[in-house]
């Protein structure tokens, strides 16, 4: 799943991602402009649970379009 970040001002940002963990969930890799934001994460859980992941600080340059990608398996 790709999320386009368009016309975002250059600067420092922090991304937090709300996720739902379930018995039927797999794994997810998160990247920004093709650069991984941490390791692959497991979304599997014995019971349904909601979490917020802090993907850390990063800097965006002045390009017109950035892509935040969630690769789910």
Whole-number pLDDT of residue 63? 84
Query: Which pLDDT band holds residue 58 (cuts at 50, 70, 90)?
Result: confident
| Closest C-alpha among 51, 52, 61, 53 to residue 13 | 61
Tell me the pLDDT tens digit for each residue of 61-71: 988 899 999 99
Provide the whole-model pTM. Answer: 0.83
Distance of CA 23 to the CA centre of its chain: 21
Q: What angle do CA 54, 32, 11 make, to 5 degrees?
A: 80
60 bridge partner residues: 11
């Amino acid at each position: 799943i790709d999320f386009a970040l368009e016309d975002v001002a250059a600067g420092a940002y922090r991304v937090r991602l709300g996720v739902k963990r379930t018995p039927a969930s797999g794994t997810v890799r998160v990247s920004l402009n093709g650069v991984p934001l941490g390791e692959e994460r497991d979304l599997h859980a014995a019971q349904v649970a909601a979490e917020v992941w802090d993907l850390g600080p990063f800097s965006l340059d002045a390009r017109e379009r950035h892509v935040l990608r969630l690769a789910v398996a």
